[in-house]
Amino acid sequence: MIKAEHVSKTFGRFEAVKDVQVHVNKGSIYGLLGSNGAGKTTLLKIISGIVKADKGTAQVEGQSIFERPDVKKRILFIPDQPYFFHQTSLLQMASFYEAVYDRWDSERFHQLYEHFSLDPKAKLSRMSKGMQRQASFILTLAAMPDVLVLDEPFDGLDPVVRQQVKNLLIQDVSNRAMTVLVSSHNLREMEDFCDAVGVMHKGRILYERDLEELKTDVSKLQVAFKKMPDDTFLSGMDVMHMEKRGRVLTCIVRGQEGDIDRHVRSYEPAIYDVLPLTLEEIFTYEMGSVGYEIRNLIV
Ligand SMILES: Nc1ncnc2c1ncn2[C@@H]1O[C@H](COP(=O)(O)OP(=O)(O)OP(=O)(O)O)[C@@H](O)[C@H]1O
């Protein structure tokens, strides 16, 4: 659906985005994670057709985005600081969106501002930061985009509204296969929300993975033995990390759960547990092996 190939962007002498490749499937939620200045906003703007890449291509369904108003109309971008025309209300902004976006849905617009309890006649400039963010979600979702690009969308939203917004996005993804590309500093925030993630650092994508695949591919085992087994116990598995306390081993292991289970049980452990693994732990071990400390990159 979204394909960025070898995209680079330089500001003056500074290369903010370096030879980046990103692939986002239709009807999925892709989290672009990275620390301050990693290049996320620049990449999102290139993908949305707001900024032109110096090198490489960004395409939606095989079509170039920059200089293609017909393609751009299907992609909506919510910046980290929402912008509204001076002195306007939500209702006035809605008239503007209706004139621009062919698929504008007035009924949905009404449902959404009632859902968030926003006064559609109130001046947007007098609303709080969080309310302004809600207003931009209302306008954007009523425009029924095929692709929604969100830059740090949950900043300034309280936990209840944050969940409401996530639920609305998930509904559009499952009901009409909307595609969402979302940037964040926060790995934990993205963990239950995204189908795939890319980790960006100093202009490059270090890592791009499907989360479902990732979670079924890596397991955390806790095993205790009455008598410690020989080296074949560890060498018979793809161990990414191991800690030993007395006769208890905690191992992060790559591979199919069934194969691992058979292998461990064949050594007749006294205690054997498969523990839940957070995305942060998976990243720590996976990226640790390529020389990056995830905690230094994202919270
Ligand atoms: N218009 C510009 N002119 C010059 N430098 C820019 C411009 N836009 C971005 N940069 C630089 O490019 C780098 C990447 O910025 P970008 O905003 O894309 O990062 P980010 O990952 O979104 O950061 P944050 O999480 O802090 O918003 C930064 O060093 C920034 O100073």
Q: What is the per-residue pLDDT across 54-104, written as a single tens digit (0 to 9) for each?
A: 999 999 888 888 777 788 888 999 998 888 888 899 999 999 999 999 999
User: What burial letters (b/e) apply to 281-291, b meaning 16+ CB within 10 Å?
Assistant: bbbbbbbeeee
Number of neighbouring beta carbons within 10 Å of residue 231: 7
d(C-alpha 237, C-alpha 256), whole Å: 10
CA distance 148 to 4: 15
Of all helices (H) and strands (E), which one includes residue 78? strand 75-78
pLDDT at 293: 65
Note the helical H segments in 50-157. 69-72, 90-100, 106-115, 129-142
Average pLDDT over residues 266-277: 92
**Ligand 1 binding pocket, CB closer than 6 Å:** 11, 14, 16, 34, 36-42
- Whether the per-residue pLDDT at 292 is higher than 70: the answer is no
For residue 297, report the phi and psi dihedrals to the nearest 5 degrees.
-100, -45
pLDDT at residue 281 greater than cutoff 90 = no
| Between 21 and 216, residue with greater pLDDT | 21
- Write the pLDDT tens digit of every residue in 229-247: 999 999 999 998 899 998 8
Which pLDDT score, from 0 to 100, does residue 216 have? 82
Q: Count CB neighbours of 103 within 10 A.
A: 11
CATH numbers and ranges of domains, the chain: 2-202 (3.40.50.300), 214-297 (3.30.70)
Please check the confidence at residue 261 and state whether its pLDDT lies above 90. yes
Structure tokens belonging to residue 148: 């929604």
What distances in angstroms separate CA 125 from CA 110, 131, 142, 144, one per listed residue?
Answer: 20, 10, 21, 24
Rounded to whole angstroms, how far apart are CA atoms 213 and 279? 12
Ligand 1 atom at minimum distance from 38 CA? 21
Assign 13 to helix, strand or coil. coil
More confident residue, 29 or 37: 29
Per DSSP, what are the bridge partners of residue 76?
148
Residue 111 has pLDDT above 60, yes or no: yes
User: How remote is the CA of residue 287 from the centroid of ligand 1, in Å?
Assistant: 24
What band does 291 get if pLDDT is binned at 50, 70 and 90?
Answer: low
Q: Taking residues 1-26, what's their average pLDDT?
A: 95
| Interval between CA 235 and ligand 1 midpoint (Å) | 45
Specify the residue with its C-alpha closest to ligand 1, atom 6: 11
Ligand 1 mean position to 205 CA, how many Å?
A: 15
The model's pTM: 0.86
On average, the pLDDT of the chain sits at: 90
In degrees, rounded to 5, the angle at the alpha carbon of residue 41 between the alpha carbons of residues 168 and 200 is 95
Ligand 1 mean position, distance from CA 42 (Å): 6
Write the single-letter amino acid at 248.
V
CA distances (Å), origin 188, targets 23, 86, 193, 243, 298: 22, 36, 9, 24, 10
Give residue 43 CA to ligand 1 midpoint distance, Å: 10
The percentage of residues in the chain with a pLDDT greater than 70, rounded to a whole number, is 96
Name the residue of 8, 9, 14, 149 whose CB sits within 8 Å of the most ligand 1 atoms, as the mutation to test its pocket.
Answer: 14
The letter for the amino acid at 162 is R
Q: Which helix (H) or strand (E) holds 294?
A: helix 294-297
Best of 8, 36, 40, 187 for a ligand 1 pocket test (most atoms within 8 Å of beta carbon)? 40
Indicate if the pLDDT at residue 294 is higher than 70. Answer: no
Residue nearest to atom 11 of ligand 1 (CA): 16
Which atom number of ligand 1 is nearest to the Cα of residue 12? 4
Tell whether the model's pLDDT for residue 286 goes beyond 80: no
Distance of CA 182 to the CA centre of its chain: 5
